[in-house]
Amino acid sequence: MKKIVIAGDHGALELKDTLVAFLKKKYFSVNDLGTFGSSSVDYPDMAKVACDEFNKGGYKFGILLCGTGIGISIAANKIKGIRCALVHNLFTAEMAKAHNNANFIAFGGRVRYDVPVTEMIEKFISTSYEAGRHEARIAKINALENNCS
User: Which positions are catalytic?
Assistant: 99
Q: Burial-class residue 57 by CB neighbours within 10 Å (0-12, 13-18, 19+).
A: exposed
Residue 61 CA, distance from chain mean position: 7
DSSP character for 127? P
Alpha-carbon distances of 50 from 21, 98, 149, rounded to whole Å: 18, 23, 24
